[in-house]
Amino acid sequence: MSKQTVAQQKPTTSPLSQGGILQRKCATCGQHQVAGGECEGCKKKAGIIQRRTASQGEISEVPPIVHEVLNSPGQLLDNATRGFMEPRFGRDFSQVRVHTGGKAAESARAVNALAYTVGRNVVFGTGQYAPKTTGGKHLIAHELAHTIQQSQQKASSPSKLRVDSAFAPTESNAEGAASAVMSGIKLPKFAASATVLSRQTEAGSPIDLRIDPSTLFANPPVPGSYSITRVQTVDDNVKLVHLSNGERYRVTRRRREQRRERGSVEPFTRFSPGIDRERVWLELEWCSGATEGEVRVGANVPEQVIQIAIATIFSGEDIDEALRNTSITPFAEAEMRVRGWRISVAPETTIDSSGNVTDIQGRVGVETDTRIGTIGVEGRLGSQAVGDDPLGGIQGGISLIFTPGRPPERRSRCDRRRVTLVENIRYECQQERDIPAQQVTRTREVERQQERTRFLYFDYATSRINNSLSASSLGELSVDLSEGFRVSSIRGFTSPEGPREAGVRFQGNEQLSRERAEAGVSQVQQLCAREGIGNCFAASADISGQGELYTLETLTGEEVERPQQAEFAATEFTTQQQEEMHRTPGLTRRLERARTPDERADIVYPLLRRAAITLTRTQRVTESFTEEIPARIERRDILGGCPPDIIQSAFPQARISP
């Protein structure tokens, strides 16, 4: 296959050979064979089959039914599909052959494909050719991209067809092209491919570039279903077009300069802007390395542009960067020399901010140098209709100009540089929609720290655990540890009985509280070992003795003995928040029935001889929350581009290519 595009191909052989499946006579047996179906003695090069596969399974050989389908004539793309695809690809698909039906579907299954392409032949599986659906158009665009890839490289002759990998670079390239076509964005550069069979996988290419256009793009308004009610100006390059159906479109005019430069030897310097159907350009010519020469401009070129251009040329700086943010009004000037006379022609064109030509005028002048000075004749042209020859006739009279003593113009030869800045104008269109503020209930994963406290109780004046009182807590503690809780602190306490400091027969409550904390550590370690847990303590666990609870002291700091101490401890027990879990209904009734402070102390003190074990656990939990979403403007690009009437209502002089 030649390097011509699909649009340039002319049928010269059978449909099969044009599709990249070559027919030739076997040198050994004399039989006509299809590439991929040659007799065993034939030597040939390998071609590739490109396909979109139904699964990721690879096919090593091409089944005979593939050649059978490719040898069939197929059908042309329907006009609606061509009308959609050709302007977006910029290609002519008149030579593409589409194969559908039972045989085509069977061949697609044989190569594990939803659709596959060989040369200009595109074969679809069952129900895959659906040009009226978005997904169907996407698949067709993908396969048409393969036809372009294969048109850019000469076919091997003779060649043996083989199946391309679903992970080949041409697959992601074709998928990128299909996504660009469906979204109306710029096409990627097409990868060249040999005559191949390309198949497309159901899951897409290794990099799946497919998108759901409905989530990113808005459908254009239906022609005839609306009228334009008003145009709102945001700035010179952005307009809002309001339709009668309530829709609003944001039309943006984008300007982009391109720089072209070339050099030659010329005897002058010149400045000339201009305009054509789509673009405005500014062309500068000057003598590099020389200070002679002038920049000749028309009166309708802004002074700012002139000053920037002159200053930039002679400073040697970047001319296109300097002029990037300036506006250009076209002007053209030409000068000819005929037998010593200089003839200058200068049509002047006035253009409004939208690019509309509003008026054309001109000037003709003839002058020559004599030994006594310069003699010239100049005529002014009147306003001409747009499209007429601006130099069609001199109006307003002729002036004779004589400049005595004016020396002849001296021209210097120098290296000339020419830089052309071409301003490309394009229009972008987005549908705008006002989204009101709203509250949305959402869920999120958060880390929550849970904390629990368990108590171990001890016998009087010892660090021996009272198993009767502690039985329930030991069970709960064991469950906590197995559920991931870890000990963050163990604090030992005593009742206010006995002295704080050590005596002859008693270690003192300060020391006893520390021993009870250590006893709590030992108990936790035993539970961890029994549950098979390696470490049950947090890294910074605090193990400490806290001394007595609810001690009554005199103003001088001395401890008060019974019965006042017992009464005070019982009262504190019934009011302190930390004792709430101990104040069960049964215990409360017992305290109410107790008649003396000592009786109440006998109920309360066993619960003060304790170690408080605090456990913590961090868990990820799902919580609901309300998100406040502020009012906003949603903008979506228009699928297939903006209707021309909307663009032209925003910029009346916009020239829209058909």
What string of H, E and C letters represents the secondary structure of 49-65? EEEEECCCCCCCCCCHH
Whole-number Å distance between alpha carbons of 549 and 608: 7
- Does residue 316 or residue 132 have the better pLDDT? 132
Inform me whether the pLDDT recorded for 308 exceeds 90. no
- Does residue 167 or residue 354 have the better pLDDT? 167
Q: Closest by alpha carbon to 8, among 114, 124, 148, 138?
A: 148
Inform me whether the pLDDT recorded for 318 exceeds 80. no
Inform me whether the pLDDT recorded for 28 exceeds 70. no
Q: Closest by alpha carbon to 70, among 94, 91, 51?
A: 51
User: How many residues are recorded in the chain?
Assistant: 658
User: In the prediction, which pLDDT does 29 show?
Assistant: 38
Segment 274-284, tens digit of pLDDT: 433 334 444 55
Inform me whether the pLDDT recorded for 132 exceeds 60. yes
Inform me whether the pLDDT recorded for 124 exceeds 90. yes
Inform me whether the pLDDT recorded for 391 exceeds 50. no
- CA distances to 298, 330, 568 from 392, rounded to whole Å, are 19, 20, 120
Whole-number Å distance between alpha carbons of 29 and 42: 9
The region of weakest confidence among 250-259, 491-500, 525-534 is 250-259
- Does residue 569 or residue 263 have the better pLDDT? 569
Radius of gyration of the chain from its Cα atoms, rounded to whole angstroms: 46
- Does residue 623 or residue 33 have the better pLDDT? 623
Determine how many CB atoms are found less than 10 A away from the CB of residue 366. 15
Inform me whether the pLDDT recorded for 358 exceeds 70. no
User: In the prediction, which pLDDT does 172 show?
Assistant: 76
Inform me whether the pLDDT recorded for 381 exceeds 90. no
Inform me whether the pLDDT recorded for 360 exceeds 80. no
**H or E element: which one contains 428?**
strand 414-435
Q: What is the mean pLDDT of residues 608-623?
A: 94
- Does residue 198 or residue 195 have the better pLDDT? 198
User: In the prediction, which pLDDT does 171 show?
Assistant: 81
Q: Are 495 and 609 in contact (CB under 8 A)?
A: yes
Determine how many CB atoms are found less than 10 A away from the CB of residue 589. 10
Residue 201, SS3 per DSSP = coil
Distance from the Cα of residue 366 to its chain's centroid:
61
Inform me whether the pLDDT recorded for 201 exceeds 70. no
Range ranked top by mean pLDDT from 305-309, 341-345, 517-521, 631-635: 517-521
Q: What is the mean pLDDT of residues 547-573?
A: 90
* pLDDT classification of 313: cutoffs 50, 70, 90: low
Residue 102 buriedness (CB in 10 A; 0-12 / 13-18 / 19+): exposed
What is the DSSP track for 208-251? Answer: -----HHHHEEPPPPTTS--EEEEEEEETTEEEEEETTS-EEEE
Calculate the average pLDDT of the chain.
72
Q: Are 530 and 544 in contact (CB under 8 A)?
A: no
Whole-number Å distance between alpha carbons of 479 and 417: 87
Inform me whether the pLDDT recorded for 357 exceeds 60. no
- Does residue 639 or residue 570 have the better pLDDT? 570
Segment 451-466, tens digit of pLDDT: 999 999 999 999 999 9
Q: Are 622 and 422 in contact (CB under 8 A)?
A: no
User: In the prediction, which pLDDT does 467 show?
Assistant: 94
Residue 530 is which amino acid?
A: R
Q: What is the mean pLDDT of residues 176-185?
A: 78
Helix axes 169-183, 134-151, angle to 10 degrees: 130
Cα angle 544, 550, 553 (rounded to 5 degrees) comes to: 110
Inform me whether the pLDDT recorded for 475 exceeds 70. yes
Segment 35-71, tens digit of pLDDT: 333 344 333 333 455 655 544 445 557 888 988 999 9
* pLDDT classification of 637: cutoffs 50, 70, 90: confident
Q: Closest by alpha carbon to 347, among 390, 389, 378?
A: 390
User: In the prediction, which pLDDT does 656 show?
Assistant: 59
User: In the prediction, which pLDDT does 267 show?
Assistant: 37
Whole-number Å distance between alpha carbons of 77 and 93: 8
Whole-number Å distance between alpha carbons of 658 and 635: 25
**Helix (H), strand (E), coil (C) string for 122-187:** EEECCCCCCCCCHHHHHHHHHHHHHHHHHHCCCCCCCEECCECCCCCHHHHHHHHHHHHHHHCCCC
Structure tokens at 404: 């005595």
Q: Closest by alpha carbon to 458, among 493, 489, 487, 491?
A: 493
Q: What is the mean pLDDT of residues 169-191?
A: 79
User: In the prediction, which pLDDT does 113 show?
Assistant: 84
Whole-number Å distance between alpha carbons of 506 and 289: 107
User: In the prediction, which pLDDT does 218 show?
Assistant: 79
Work out the percent of the chain whose per-residue pLDDT is above 70.
Answer: 59
* pLDDT classification of 285: cutoffs 50, 70, 90: low
- Does residue 42 or residue 287 have the better pLDDT? 287
Residue 336, SS3 per DSSP = strand
Q: Closest by alpha carbon to 299, among 342, 322, 337, 333?
A: 333
Q: Which residue has the tokens 């690009």?
A: 637
Q: Closest by alpha carbon to 512, among 529, 498, 523?
A: 498
Residue 342 is which amino acid?
A: R
Inform me whether the pLDDT recorded for 476 exceeds 70. yes
Segment 224-248, tens digit of pLDDT: 889 999 999 999 899 999 999 999 9
